[in-house]
Amino acid sequence: MLQKLELRSAVLSLVILFVGLFIWHFSTYVPVTGPVGVEFSQEQTDALKSQNMVAEDIEFYASQGVEFPQLEQIAALGLSREMIDMAGGIQALGISVPDENSAPAPGSLFPSPSQIGVELWATITDPFYVAGTNDMGYGIQMGYSLLRVIIGYTLAAAIAIPLGFLIGMSPVFYRALDPYIQILRPISPLAWMPIALFTIGDSELSSIFVIFICSLWPMLSNTAFGVASVRHDWVNVARTHELGALKTAFTVILPAAAPTIVTGMRISIGIAWLVIVAAEMLVGGTGIGYVVWNEWNGLRLDRMIVAILLIGVVGMLLDAIFGKLQRAVTYTE
C-alpha cells in the first residue's frame, strides 16, 4: 500500500513538473520574426543587373524586404553591398528601407527552459572556475555562503541550546525571560544588519552576526519549551532513584526534549539559509546571494535563475539532513 502511494506521488510530481515546464516554454516562446522578404520578377531582376548590381546583392536585399524602387536607388549609386555597409548601411544613404531592429528579437526576454538547461549544465560541469573577482563558479560562491551559515549557526546553537536548557529547567526564569524572547524573535534579521555594520564595521562579520541572531531565537525558544514540557513523572522517577541533577538532565530531560530541540534547529537552519541570501545582496562581494544580485544587474537572467534554483536545492538538502536527525531522536512513549 505504501509503495503504491509513493509511486502515485512520484508520477503526479513528474506530471506537475512537465506541465510547469510546458507552460513556461509556451509563455516564453516568441516565433522568429523579422523583415518580410519580397520577390522580384525576372524583368525587375534583369533591370537591376543591367545597372551592375550582382545577383547575390539582389537576393540579400530582397530577403531583407527592400522593395524594387528602393533597390533601383541603391543600384543607381553604383556601390557594392560592402561599401554601403562601411558607409553605415542603406538608411545612412537616405534610402528608406525596413528596419531590422523594429521587429521583435527571436524568443522572449525571459529565458526559456531550454536556455536555463544549457546554463545549468554549464554550471554543473564547471562549478569551481575563477575568471576574476566577479566571475567565479557557483560552487565557490555557494561555499562562501555555506561557510557563513555554518559559523553563525554553530555559534547560535552553542549559546541557545545550553541557555534554553537552563531556562526550561527553571519555571521562574522561563516566565521572566519569555516576554523578551517573544519581542526579539519576530524582528526581521535584516533589521539587525545596519546595527551590525555600524558596530562591527566589517561586512563579512556582519553577515555572520545576522545568521547568528536569526538562528538564535527558534533554537532558544524551542529548547526552553521542550525542557519545560518534560513530564514531571519522569523527573520524579529519576529523583526516586536518587539520580543527581546533571545525570537527570542528560538521561531523562535531554532525550525527552530532543525532538523539540531538533525541531528548533531545523527551523533555524531554514531561516539562516533564507537570510544569508538577502544579507549577501546587501553587503556584496561574494556568496550566492551576491551572485543573484550581480547577475540581475547585468540582466543575465538565465544565470540568475540557475543561481536561484541552486539556492532551493541546497536549502532542500539542509532541511532533509535535519529531517533525518529529527526522525532519529523521535521516540514513542
pLDDT above 80 (res 323): yes
pLDDT above 60 (res 141): yes
CATH architecture of 122-329: Orthogonal Bundle (1.10)
- Residue-level pLDDT at 254: 76
Nearest alpha carbon to residue 123 among 112, 139, 142, 111: 139
Q: What backbone torsions phi and psi does residue 104 show, to the nearest 5 degrees?
A: -60, 145
DSSP state, 92?
Answer: G
Q: What backbone torsions phi and psi does residue 243 show, to the nearest 5 degrees?
A: -80, 140
Nearest alpha carbon to residue 24 among 103, 106, 108: 108
- Residue-level pLDDT at 105: 45
Alpha-carbon gap, residue 122 to 127, rounded angstroms: 8
- Domain span(s) for CATH 1.10.3720.10 in the chain: 122-329
- Residue-level pLDDT at 300: 83
- Residue-level pLDDT at 107: 46
Query: Crossing angle of helices 138-169/301-329, nearest 10°?
Result: 30
- Determine which of 9-18, 73-82, 183-192, 269-278 has the lowest per-residue pLDDT on average: 73-82
Q: Would you place residue 328 in the very low, low, confident or very high pLDDT band (cuts 50, 70, 90)?
A: confident
Q: Which residues pair with 130 in a beta bridge?
A: 136
Integer-rounded Cα radius of gyration of the chain: 33
Q: CB within 8 A of 227, min separation 6: which ones?
A: 164, 165, 167, 168, 169, 253, 257
* Maximum Cα interatomic distance, the chain, rounded to a whole number of Å: 116
Q: What pLDDT, in 10s, does the model give residues 28-78?
A: 776 555 445 667 778 888 877 887 777 777 777 777 767 777 777 777 777
**Choice between 91 and 26, residue whose per-residue pLDDT is larger:** 26
pLDDT above 90 (res 241): no
Alpha-carbon gap, residue 229 to 224, rounded angstroms: 8
pLDDT above 50 (res 274): yes
Instruction: Retrieve residue 121's grid coordinates.
Output: 549544465
- Residue-level pLDDT at 106: 44
Q: Which residue has the cell 530541540?
A: 261
